[in-house]
Amino acid sequence: MLELRHVSKTFNKGTPSAKQALNDLSLHLNAGDFVSIIGSNGAGKSTVFNAIGGSFLVDAGRIFLDGQDVTFLPEHKRAGSIGRLFQDPLRGTAPNMTIEENLALVYLRANKSRSIFGITNKERDFFREKLATLNLGLEDRLKSKVGLLSGGQRQALTLLMATMITPKVLLLDEHTAALDPATADKVLELTRRIVADGHITTMMITHNIGSALALGNRTIMMNEGQIILDVSGEERARLTVPELLELFREKSHTALDDDRILLRAD
Amino acid sequence: MTLTLFQGTMEQALIYSLVAVGLFISFRILNIADLTVDGGFTLGCATSAVATLAGHPFLGLLLALFAGALAGLVTAVLQTKLKVQPILAGIITMTALYSINLMIMQNRANLPLLKCDTIYTWAAGWLPANLCKLLLLALIVALVLLGVFIFLRSGLGLSVRATGDNPDLVRSSSINPSHTITIGLCVANALVALSGALLAQYQLFSEITTGTGMVVIGLASLIMGEAIVGRGGLIRCLLGTLVGSAVYRLIIAIAITSSLQPSNLKLISAIIVAVSISWPAIREKLAVHKLKKAAMQAAREEDSHA
Ligand SMILES: Nc1ncnc2c1ncn2[C@@H]1O[C@H](COP(=O)(O)OP(=O)(O)OP(=O)(O)O)[C@@H](O)[C@H]1O
Ligand SMILES: [Mg+2]
């Protein structure tokens, strides 16, 4: 479904502050894979997502999405097949627009033949039905401005928006990191359900080692722009959090250096 | 204030309200301070005047809409494709428009339209004579507001609105924000030029300096309208432009009838805009000042008790 072939990226090339963020990285995801990604600060995790999403062009290598070479496709043209969530809940929604307007905005990309007279009642019912699945009572607040919602509610709404038209790949960059633990758990559970229901190919960066192992079918560790560990199946099922950390130390010859790391093994 | 003067003031308020609507789109929705407006307003005046002189007042309005949109397009291309800073992009277009407007007006700084057929003389043919201008303008402005309302709620309009709010989101809904900025600026400047076009036929002349300071005047109206009507939904915002424009024109009418020099009006507009835009910052300073004072007061009282 998603393939990165020998991708490299150096920021500020040719200057003293040059930084190789991706170093000949290759990765292949099968349809329906749910991969969790962990690694030290600055390992290049977000950079992988930015490369896939098209925030910049990579220096070398190729990126394929569902068989199509997207290496040089501009960001907004890839966006139709990629759903993205960021740590900052403010990034995924338009605060001065209402919940239904936000939903309508993404709904556009599948449904070009919308009525010119704004949102139809049929669409409104559809939005209400979708919002009800979040269990946050947002289905009764279609006309509320999104800026009035809490961080958790906004992130849940963003998740809904990113997956309303099933994306070919869903990229979650620490999307629960800015939420309080209870809300984070709720959004994580929501993520698990939406991804499972839609069989969405997903990559999730997390600093919660526990959820990295608990969610999905595969875990990747990154260090200095490379993948240093890739576990799935039986091997992953048997791994515990301490074992995973030990593995990281072995492979990278340093301890996992993540200032936001959470070692909860839940 | 006499009834005739009041009626005239309301007629002007209707004409200038379109500038406020244009600025609502560029300044509020797209979050861009678009200085194209000063040149675009005169562009509308000039186009409409020339067409009216040639005997085509309605064509003049259409041409003005089109010319205004084109001016917006130039600013948008400078800004999105050529990466000129938004303010500078507007200034560049505005400066270029000065020469273009003169060209359209056949190199004359003033183009009188005496004894020409205008949309207003046309309206006098079937509307009550003393109300014909007011009614015609009300009709045109109502149609424009309806059109803008429908546009802003359509799919395309939603993307334009999201652009100023969160461009990342627009990009991630697979729409190029450059396109939505371009569409927004075209619509905004088309409306501004239409306002100029209506004015030229109303005052029966077009002058090269008519648009000078129009950005500030439009912003003053927009902001005053928001202060009075509030910044709720779309309908409220659009009504606000009408109310703000009416209040602004009333202030001017009063200023003119009183001893105030008309030349002071731009100073007053500038002060209104400066104060209203900086109001949140001023309010915050005042609040901090109050808190400090209260804290110091409390400390003093504690000292005196001790
Ligand atoms: N746009 C950019 N310009 C310059 N350097 C960048 C840019 N984006 C990332 N980098 C650098 O690339 C390296 C990898 O950054 P990246 O954001 O991918 O790390 P990360 O693994 O997501 O880390 P974290 O866990 O802290 O989010 C870092 O050294 C970072 O400073
Ligand atoms: Mg990161």
User: What is the C-alpha separation between A224 and A25, in angstroms, rounded?
Assistant: 10
Q: Please tell me if the CB atom of residue A46 comes closer than 6 angstroms to any atom of ligand 1.
A: yes
Q: Cβ distance A225 to A23 under 8 Å?
A: yes
Q: How many CA atoms within 13 Å lie on the side-chain side of A105?
A: 35
Cβ of B168 and A118 within 8 Å? no
Q: In A15-67, at which residue ranges do the beta strands (DSSP E only) sit? A: 19-29, 34-39, 60-65
The token pair at A146 is: 């999104």
| Distance of alpha carbon B16 from the chain centroid | 7
Q: In B158-248, at which residue ranges do the beta strands (DSSP E only) sit? A: 205-207
Q: How many CA atoms within 13 Å lie on the side-chain side of A141?
A: 18
pLDDT value for B257: 82
Per-residue pLDDT averaged across B61-76, rounded? 98
User: What angle do helix axes B177-203 and B155-165 make, rounded to 10 degrees?
Assistant: 100
Ligand 2 (ion): which residues have CB within 5 A? A 46
Res. A260 pLDDT band, cuts 50 70 90: low
Res. B117 pLDDT band, cuts 50 70 90: very high
Render pLDDT for A199-229 as a digit per residue (tens, 0 to 9). Answer: 999 999 998 888 899 999 999 999 999 999 9
Residue with the larger pLDDT of the pair B269 and A32: A32
Per-residue pLDDT averaged across A238-261, rounded? 78
Q: Please tell me if the CB atom of residue A44 comes closer than 6 angstroms to any atom of ligand 1.
A: yes
Q: Considering only CA atoms, which residue is closest to atom 7 of ligand 1? A: A11
Render pLDDT for A130-186 as a digit per residue (tens, 0 to 9). Answer: 999 888 889 999 999 999 999 999 999 999 999 988 999 999 999 999 888 888 999
Question: B14 by DSSP, 3-state: which?
Answer: helix
Render pLDDT for B149-165 as a digit per residue (tens, 0 to 9). Answer: 999 988 889 999 999 99
Phi, psi (deg, nearest 5) at residue A226 = -130, 160
Number of H helices, E strands in chain B: 12, 2
Does residue A93 belong to the interface with chain B, where contact is any CB pair within 8 Å? yes
Q: Cβ distance A217 to A211 under 8 Å?
A: no
Mutation probe of ligand 1 site: the residue of A11, A20, A221 with most atoms within 8 A of C-beta: A11
Render pLDDT for B240-255 as a digit per residue (tens, 0 to 9). Answer: 999 999 999 998 888 8
Q: Considering only CA atoms, which residue is closest to atom 5 of ligand 1? A: A11
Q: What is the CATH number of the domain that holds A84?
A: 3.40.50.300
Q: Cβ distance B127 to B70 under 8 Å?
A: no
Res. A246 pLDDT band, cuts 50 70 90: confident
Cβ of A104 and B158 within 8 Å? yes
State the average pLDDT for chain B. 92
Q: Using CB atoms within 10 A of its CB, is residue A64 exposed (0-12), middle (13-18) or buried (19+)?
A: middle
The residues near A153 (Cβ < 8 Å, ≥ 6 apart) are A136, A138
Per-residue pLDDT averaged across A86-102, rounded? 92
User: What is the C-alpha separation between B245 and A150, in angstroms, rounded?
Assistant: 36
Q: Please tell me if the CB atom of residue A45 comes closer than 6 angstroms to any atom of ligand 1.
A: yes
pTM of the complete model? 0.85
pLDDT value for A116: 64
User: What is the C-alpha separation between A180 and A182, in angstroms, rounded?
Assistant: 6
Tell me the CA distances in angstroms from A260 to A189, A257, B173, one per residue in order: 21, 9, 30
Looking at the 3D structure of chain B, how many domains does it have? 1
Does residue A113 belong to the interface with chain B, where contact is any CB pair within 8 Å? no
Render pLDDT for A23-42 as a digit per residue (tens, 0 to 9). Answer: 999 999 999 999 999 988 88
Q: What is the CATH number of the domain that holds B94?
A: 1.10.3470
**A-B Cβ pairs (cutoff 8 Å, strict):** 74
Tell me the CA distances in angstroms from A82 to A50, A165, B50, B172, one per residue in order: 11, 10, 52, 8
The token pair at B251 is: 């202030």
Looking at the 3D structure of chain A, how many domains does it have? 1
The token pair at A42 is: 């600055």
Residue A119's domain comprises 2-262
User: What is the C-alpha separation between B155 and B161, in angstroms, rounded?
Assistant: 10
Per-residue pLDDT averaged across B124-139, rounded? 92
Q: Considering only CA atoms, which residue is closest to atom 30 of ligand 1? A: A42
Phi, psi (deg, nearest 5) at residue A25 = -90, 130
Cβ of B155 and A108 within 8 Å? yes
pLDDT value for A30: 94
Per-residue pLDDT averaged across B81-86, rounded? 94
pLDDT value for A265: 44
Question: Degrees (nearest 5) of the Cα angle A151, A152, A156?
Answer: 120
DSSP classification of residue A208: B
Q: Per-residue pLDDT for B60 more than 80?
A: yes
Q: Which chain A residues have a beta carbon less than 8 Å from that of B175? A: 76, 108-109
Q: Which chain A residues have a beta carbon less than 8 Å from that of B170? A: 76, 105
Number of H helices, E strands in chain A: 9, 10
What is the largest distance, in Å, between two alpha-carbon atoms of chain A? 61
